[in-house]
Amino acid sequence: MESASPPDRPVGRGAKVRAAVHAATLAELVDNGYAALTVEAVAARAGVHKTTVYRRWKDRESLVVDALAGQAAADVPVPDTGSVEGDLRALARSLVAMVTGGSGPALLAAMFSGGAGLPEIAEARQQVFGDRLRRARPVVTRAVERGELPAGTDPGELLRTLAAPIYFRLLMTAEPVDAATADQAVRVALAAARAGALTCIHT
């Protein structure tokens, strides 16, 4: 997002405005959904002028994409427990906590109903997942270095395999999603990875 501040810039007035506008955007999404979200309402909620928002984000679509992507990055710390099983369990459990707790369900609903078919929301989903996958890659590369997983194990494939059953239950079958779901996702992803079923094949 060229119009947004880089995530590693020093915390100052700019970063504070960005955080406030992001929080206001997510709150508006949760309260009113994507279709009803306006830059005016976000600005009012964040306590800034509308022009301040437009100086940083070119339109409401960029704002929503950036806020969702920022949220995703903030919410999933990358674990380093010393074992691939511990790391994957921490990742899966934090994903479950995020999608089931706090404003997670409302944000997920905003991403999947109303605006689900809109290109900008599809782009937000892709950014969110692309970002999470990139951030979590070290979990897999460290596991390969430690000899816990076969050489050539594809971090993206493994992390998709980990996340897929959690979202499948949430979105498709509406079955309960809890720590047991997370742990079962880890079992499956690890078994597949150890058997060499998650080595790079899509290249």
Using CB atoms within 10 Å of the CB of residue 131, give its burial: 0 to 12 exposed, 13 to 18 middle, 19+ buried. Answer: middle
- Is residue 27 involved in binding a second copy (CB under 8 A)? no
Applying CB under 8 A, among 5, 94, 100, 184 the residue interacting with a second copy is 184
Q: Which is nearer to a second copy, 93 or 169 (CB)?
A: 169
The reply to whether 142 sits near a second copy by the rule CB under 8 A is: no
User: What is the spatial distance between Cα 100 and Cα 146, in angstroms, rounded to a whole number?
Assistant: 33
> What string marks each residue from 100 to 129 as x (binds a second copy by CB under 8 A) or -?
---------x--xxxxxx----x--xx--x
Minimum gap (Å) between residue 6 Cβ and a second copy? 24
Q: Where are the alpha helices (DSSP H) in 47-153?
A: 50-56, 60-75, 84-100, 104-112, 119-145
Instruction: Give the span between the Cα atoms of 96 and 98, in whole angstroms.
Output: 5
Give the integer Cα–Cα distance in Å for 61 and 39. Answer: 10
CB of 74 to a second copy, least distance (A): 19
CB 67 within 8 A of CB 103: no
Site size toward a second copy, by CB under 8 A? 39
Q: Which residues bind a second copy (CB under 8 A)?
A: 109, 112-117, 122, 125-126, 129-130, 157, 160-161, 163-165, 167-169, 171-174, 180, 184, 187-188, 190-192, 194-198, 201-202
